[in-house]
Structure 1
Amino acid sequence: MREYLIVLCVAAIVTFLTTPAVRWVSVRLGALTEVRDRDVHTIPIPRMGGVGVLIGMGAAVAVASKLPGLQGTFQNTSEMLAVLVAGTMICALGVLDDRYDLDPLTKLVGQIACAGILVLMGVQLAFIYLPGTTLGTVSLDPNTSFLLTTVITVATVNAMNFIDGLDGLLSGVAIITALAFFAYSYSLARQGYGDVFSSPSLMTVAIAGACLGFLPHNFNPARIFLGDSGSMLIGLVLAAAAVSTTSRVDAQSFSGLSTAVPLFMPLLLPVAILAIPIIDMVLAVVRRARKGVNPFSTPDKMHLHHRLLEIGHTQRRAVIILYIWTALVAFVGVGMSIIGNPAIVFSIAAGIAVLAVALMFTPRIRRRIDGGAPHIVRREDA
C-alpha cells in the first residue's frame, strides 16, 4: 500500500504544479470554452486540462517503474505501456478537439482507433463469465474480444465525456470511480486472486492522483477545464482497468456460483461505478433521438447537473450531490464484492441514499416553507 500512496502523491503533485503551465499554453493556442446557452460559466475558460492529467499520470507511472514492488507490473505484462500509448493518443485527439472542435464522426473514428491500439497492445477481454447459466465461462475468440473490448472502451470514454458539465464534476467523479476500482482490484488480490502489485491497481491509483491534483484548479470557480483531452483520457484508463481486472481472474479457482462473485463483478462493476454518467448519457441520447436530432451533435441543457441547478442548487452543491450519488453507487458494488453480506451493504446504502435525496430537494422544501419565494443564486456561488 505504501508504494501506491507514493504513486498517488506523485501524480497529484506533478499535475497540480504543471496545470498552470498547461492553462497558459491553452490560452495562447486559443483552446477556450466559449460561453453557450447550455453552459453555466460566464467567461471563456481554457480547456486543455487533460494534458496536465496525462503529465501527472505519466510521472507517477515512471516513478512506479522504479519501486521494488510495482516493477513487476511492467515486466510481466504490456498493459501499462498500452495504457500510456493509447492514453497519449486519445489525449492528443482531445487536444485537437479542444482547439478546433472536431466533428462528431471524426472524433468517434479517433476514439475507435485509440481503443483499437489499446487492445492490440494487450488490454483485452479473454473470457466472460455468465453466472447461473449452463455456459459458465465463455472464452472469446480474438475477433470477438477485440470488438467487445473496443465497444466497452469507446462507451466508457463517451460516458465520462457526457458528465463533464459543471466545475469540478468530472474530476471528482473520476477520483471516486478510480478509487473504487482500486479498492476492488486491491482487495481481490488480497483474497488470493492475483498479485497486490497489478496493472489495474496502478492504473486507477495513478489517474486518481492526477485528478486529485487537477481538482483545485477545476473546482468552482474553475480556472481550467479538463476538456475532451481529459474526459476521454479518464474514460480510456477506467475502461482499461475494468478489462484488465477481468482478465486476471482464474475461472478454475471457483467452485460454484456462490463463490464466483469475483468472476462476474469486474463486468458489473464498471456499470455500477459509471452508473451516473451512463444514465445521463442514455437519457440524453433518448431525449435527443425523440426530437429527431443527432444525439451526439446537439447539446442541450437537460443533463442531470443542469436539472439540479434548476431546482435551486448552487454549482458547488450540485457537484457535491453528484459526488455522493457516484460514491454511493460505486462503493455499493465494491462493498458487495468485498464484504459479501448484502444486508449490511444495502442498509448503509439506504441510509446514505435517504440523506442524498433529502439534500437534493432541500431548495424546493425551503421555497415551500418561505411561501414560494424564488431561490437567488449568489454571484460567488454561480
Structure 2
Amino acid sequence: MDLPFLLAAVERGDDTTVLEHLAETSYGGVAGEDGVALLAAAAYAGRHEVVNRLVACVDPTRPWAGGVDPVDWAAANGAYWVLSALLSRENDPLRADSPHRRALRVAQAALDSGGGAVPPPAHRGIITDLEEKLGIDRTPDELMARALVHADPEHEDWLASLLRITWPESQERFDWARSVVERADSLERRRFGLDAVNFLGFGFNPDNEDEPPFTEEAVELLRPRLATEQDPYALRTVVAAFTGYCTREDLPAVLPHVDHPDPRVRHGVARAFPGLLDVRPDTLAVLLRLADDPYPAVRTSAFEALSRTSVDTPALRAVLAVHLADPAFDARLEAAAALALRGDERATPVLDEVRRGIRNRNSRGAGRLEDLHYQLRARAEGPAV
C-alpha cells in the first residue's frame, strides 16, 4: 500500500482514487500500521466512505497515533458518519462493555459541555442512533425537538431523527407527521413534518407488500400544497413526496413547477418524468427543456428519464447528442446511455472513454455501465412471451 499517495488523496477528498487502490490491495497490506494511519487520516478528514471500507480490514478500536481512541474521538467530535462506520462491524451493541454504550456516554457528555464547533457537531444525531440500537425509546416529539435545535435539513441531527421516526412506517406515525404539517407554527416544523411524510413513503414494512395504507391520505395532504407552498425547501419536499405517493395519472400536477427558480424543485419535477411520459407523451418537449437545465443534477435526471422510456424522436436525439460533451460526468454518461439504448452509435466514444477509466467496481461510472449492459441486453432480447 502506497501510504503517502493515499494520504494525499484523502487530504484532497478524492475518495474514488483511495477506494480504487484499496480494492487492489490485499487484506494483509491494509491491516497493519499503515492501515491504522490511513483510517485515522480519513476519519479526521471526514471521509466516511473510506473509513467504512477500511474497517473491513483494520480494527476500528485500535488506538491512533498519540493514543487516540477512535470511537471516543468520533463520539466526542460529533462525527456522525465516521462513528457509524467505526461501529458498523460491531454485532452486539447490548453487551455491557460495547463501544456503543461508551460512545453514547461520550456523545452525551460532549453535548452537555456545550461545544461550539462550526459547523455544529452531530451529537444529537449520534445519541438518537445509539439509543435506537440500545433499545432506548423516544417519542416523535422528543426526536423532532432534537432536529429543530439547529433546524438545518442538511444536518445529521435532522436526518437521524427523521429515520428514527419514520422506520418502520405505520399509520400512527403518518398521523403524527400529518398533524405536524397541518398545525405547524413555524417554517422549521412544517419542513420537518413534510420530510417525515416523504420518508414514510419509502419506508419498509414487512407486512405491507404494496403501498402504505395511508397513501390516499398523503396525496390529499400534499396536492393542495403543490399550489400554495412558497418555501423552496418545503416545496421540493412536497414535489418529491407527492410523486412518490400519487398514481401516474396524478403526476402532471407537478408540471407547473418545471421552471421554478430553485434548481432542486426543478430536479424533483425531472425525477417524475419516467411515469409522466407514460401518461402524457406531449410533455416530452418539457423534459427536453429540463435536459438543457443549467443545474447538472437536473440534466442528469432528465437523461435518466429518457433512458427509461422508449420514446424516440429526432429532437430528442439531437439534445442527447449535444450533451455527449456535457461538462458534468454523470450528465454526459446518462446522455450517452440514453442514446445507446436507442441504438445510436454516437454514444460509443463516450462510453468507451468511461470504460477505459475504470479500474475496478469502485471506479466512477462502473456501476452505471454494468446497469447499461443489462438494459441493452434486455432491449435486444425483447419482451418476454
| TM-score of the pair, normalised by structure 1 | 0.27
Greater CA radius of gyration, 1 or 2?
2
